Homo-oligomer: A and B are copies of this chain.
């Protein structure tokens, strides 16, 4: 994320504007996952194989799901700590410097003397509005031995929640197990199926996932039925949110109390009824919630006690829309902010 927008955000956060959100008592959050550098190369047209073209502009900015999400969390006033790995090369040093400038605590970062930092080359085609990403993993990869027990304990001390983007799954599992022992809530961002993700999900308290993940992971026939399936399969999860880009998001929350009514409500019909209550002329985000402790069912999946919520996204005028890179990560940052109040 650019340092220019960083400083303006910091000014906003520091100012006394009534739009600045209030701060929770415990603002420390720990994130474990990808922090890298993005090379955003704008081109006049997406290249064909064997083409030789030149970029019209280049921006080099910090990236990676966890790096982005924690940057957003810091800009919302939280005190994020990050566990990730870079090399002591120009890219790694720049990624670290950007995080630190945004107020992300990098004391728990693993910095390899040799090897290379992870980076993503992003081919930005502003005419067709496409962002094509080629990610080069860092080397050597992060392993649990990179993180000492004392460093792990120190990183978790006082944290109100821990967030994982699914990267470095072996290290992530070690961190999640210790967090679980300490009863620290675990947030997981499931962008896609990844090696070791299921082990992490078994320890998860809250789950945010991409539009495609629920059906890919459950093979359920629709997104709402997949959400029911997720809550039934992973009994510790309190809620699952699926992000839908400009269409907002859907959240299915498990109720602590058993459903008061015995009658089952089909999750697809429930979603449809909530969507009909949305004011289509509103430009600010709105949230429509069902009653709580409904008996929510999905055909062939089962039923559970919970409530369903539909949230719309802010309507951004096309001319104001510059770049959606990292928008999902910023959403996670806001969810982490919300998580500090729970």
Contacts and interface: CB of A to CB of B under 8 A. Distances in A.
A58 interface: yes
How many copies are assembled? 2
B121 A49 contact: no
B47 A132 contact: yes
Interface string A122-162: 01010010111111110000000000000000000000000
Is chain A's binding surface mostly helix, strand, loop or mixed? Answer: strand
Contacts of A170: none
A41 interface: yes
Interface residues of A, number: 30
Contact of A51 (B39, B58, B132, B136): B132
Contacts of A123: 47, 49, 134
B47 A134 contact: yes
Contact of A55 (B50, B52, B90, B135): B135
Contacts of A49: 46, 123, 125, 128, 130, 132
Contacts of A89: 90
A274 interface: no
A116 interface: yes
B54 A134 contact: yes
Nearest to A91: B90
A232 interface: no
A20 B59 CA distance: 46
Interface string A106-124: 0000000000100001010
24 contacts: A41-B134, A43-B134, A46-B49, A47-B123, A47-B134, A49-B123, A49-B128, A49-B130, A49-B132, A50-B132, A51-B133, A52-B133, A52-B135, A53-B133, A53-B135, A54-B135, A54-B136, A55-B134, A58-B116, A58-B136, A89-B90, A90-B90, A90-B91, A123-B134
The 9 closest A-B pairs by CB, nearest first: A90-B90, A49-B130, A54-B135, A52-B133, A50-B130, A55-B136, A58-B136, A46-B49, A47-B132
